[in-house]
Amino acid sequence: MTIKPDFSQVVPEHLGHIHFIGIGGSGMSGIARLLIQSGHKVTGSDVRDSGNIEELRRLGAHVAIGHDAANLGDADTVVVTSALWPTNPEYVLAQEKKLPILHRSQALKYLTTGKKLISVAGAHGKTTSTGMVVTGLRQLGKDPSFVNGGVIAEYGSSAASGSTDLFVIEADESDGSFLHYQTAVALITNVDPDHLDHYGSLENFEREFARFANGASDFVAISSDDAGAVRVTKLIQDKRIITFGEHESADVRIINLDASGARVSFELSYFGGNYSATLLVPGKHNAINAAGAFAVLVGLGLDPKASLAAIATFNGTQRRFELHGEVRGVKVYDDFAHHPTEVLAALSAARAVVGSGRLITVFQPHLYSRTRLFAKEFAEALALSDEVVVLDIYAAREDPEPGVTGALIADAYHDQEKMHYVPVWDDVPAAVAAIALSGDFVITMGCGDVYRQVPGILKALEA
């Protein structure tokens, strides 16, 4: 089992030389980037090279591939994630040296102190919604700092320093760390059940979201449609609340929605005015994300028409229905969806794009606990596909559970002739290539390392 965050660790006034264990992820690399830009010496390590690591090296960070106690060097402060195993040699040495070991959320809080913080939380939709808020503010000349969980396509980065006091972050609820920020504006995209391995029950999960909302000093923007969000809204006390969604009670109401093509069109009704937009990204879920971002911008006092026009320039984030190539008439996409609701939304959007082509989903389950709890729901969501290839589970921070494999999802699928369970990693590209025909769309899906299958799939299609 991975480490538990120690939020009682006092954050030093001066961090000195900061070493990141697992520096390559979007969130960690974004925090590291801003700390470098603020003048800190930053080093780090990770299990493999990546574009994020190449960028950090370009900025001056020394990053080692592979974990070794020697990587710690003369670090004054260490930053970690909840996905770190307690046997990691750099972590063990940092403990022996009694160095301050900060969870990444504590390092992010350090960066955001004194700023007007907009925190985006929710079981899904956070990365896109954060990207939309950032894009909208930048287009309107507000130039916020930001740290997102994915690279915003237009800016080519998951993080940047801005010139104003506004700071936008994707606030992770998976381990409760979203409660530790000094949030001014809270955007809650939804409160769909997830991370119950950490929270223990749905009631605890929703209670912590209510704590997050009640901690916002200025206002809360929250979904009017998601059942969990509606229950959380009832627990918010003495706060300005802006609701958004399709429900007739929503303050920001989505009307005249058309998600039938490669771009989603809709109108937002807000305080007697109607404002229309066509996004550059597909899917009903992205119209909902845009409505949430709109709620934040108008809540900050920005003009409604200009706000929606600015949000509509958002051009996506990496690993969200991202096209990687086309071989033999087969297009290969990648997507981050890893919860049944996300899978359903992503495949609904994909279905609108593919037209008459077949949709082949290559799905990698993430976490043993999530697979055990939602195997049936995953199978139902994946039914929007014409063919499905299921991989084995990406364990991330969890130990294996006896009897819990990707087969739980595969066995629950409604049409076994269209289901292909491929537990051996190296067998996946050939299995996909054997299925795909010209005009088909292949989409790798999951928040583990399934994206690493894309080059192999493209090569197998060539063969």
d(CA 370, CA 378): 10
- Measured distance CA(225)–CA(245) in Å, rounded: 6
Backbone angles phi, psi at 456, to 5 degrees: -65, -40
For residue 40 the two structure tokens come to 């800190």
Active site residues: 126-127, 170
Burial 173-200 (b: 16+ CB within 10 A, else e): bbbbbbbbbebbbbbbbbbbbbbeebbe
Q: What values do phi and psi take at 313, rounded to 5? A: -85, -5
Contact partners, residue 234, CB within 8 Å, separation at least 6 = none
- Each as own residue / partner, the long-range contacts of residues 297-302 (CB below 8 Å, 24 or more positions apart, any chain) are 297/133, 297/136, 297/137, 297/140, 298/242, 298/252, 298/270, 299/185, 299/218, 299/219, 299/221, 299/240, 299/242, 300/185, 302/136, 302/140, 302/142
Residue carrying structure tokens 């700023």: 115
